[in-house]
């Protein structure tokens, strides 16, 4: 049986000729990989909290976290595809993925307020990373990455506003 070569592509590093320095492309891909890992972690954690939140704030937190994890899931693909467009391999190892999600014990002992506070902490960390990587993209003239990260930052800042509003006194 003949092999179909199109179904067996060779993975190779290709440097796109798009007006950006090769050293920047590598740095940007590393930065985007950090953004991707934090987005993936936040998506998993948000979904776990969505399933397990209890108490008087169940309804609004359950609905908000569902919207957030769906948005985060879509963002994962967009970020990984940008890494590929910059000529690098999308990350295949996010470290020890079991550390991405909270443990059953921590979920059992977390109030809705604790869960939201934990999500706030992770959204703030993601926003800081995105701002740093996005600033470097702007300095390098990488408008596509900068624009994509501006959209990601907009999401995280709005998520922070909503999460903080839910648990405010």
The domain limits of the chain are 21-91+100-167
Q: Which CATH superfamily is domain 21-91+100-167 in?
A: Ferritin, core subunit, four-helix bundle (1.20.1260.10)
pTM for the model: 0.84
Scan for tokens 């990488």, then name that residue: 142
pLDDT 10s digits, 20-77: 788 888 999 999 999 999 999 999 999 999 999 999 999 999 999 999 999 999 999 9
Helix/strand number for the chain, H first, E second: 5, 0
Nearest to 47 by CA among 67, 28, 25, 26: 67
Would you state the structure tokens that stand for residue 156, as one six-digit string? 């995280």
pLDDT for the residue 101: 55
CA distance 13 to 144: 20
């Amino acid at each position: 049986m003949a092999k179909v070569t199109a179904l067996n592509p060779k993975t190779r590093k290709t440097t796109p000729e798009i007006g950006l320095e090769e050293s920047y492309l590598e740095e940007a891909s590393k930065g985007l990989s950090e953004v991707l890992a934090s987005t993936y972690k936040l998506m998993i954690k948000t979904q776990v909290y969505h399933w397990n939140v209890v108490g008087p704030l169940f309804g609004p937190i359950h609905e908000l976290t569902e919207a957030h994890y769906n948005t985060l899931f879509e963002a994962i693909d967009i970020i990984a595809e940008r890494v590929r467009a910059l000529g690098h391999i999308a990350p295949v190892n996010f470290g020890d993925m079991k550390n991405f999600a909270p443990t059953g014990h921590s979920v059992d002992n977390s109030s809705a307020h604790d869960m939201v506070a934990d999500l706030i902490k992770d959204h703030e960390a993601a926003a800081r990373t995105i701002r740093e990587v996005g600033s470097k993209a702007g300095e390098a003239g990488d408008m596509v990455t900068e624009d994509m990260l501006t959209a990601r930052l907009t999401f995280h800042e709005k998520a922070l506003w909503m999460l903080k509003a839910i648990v405010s006194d």
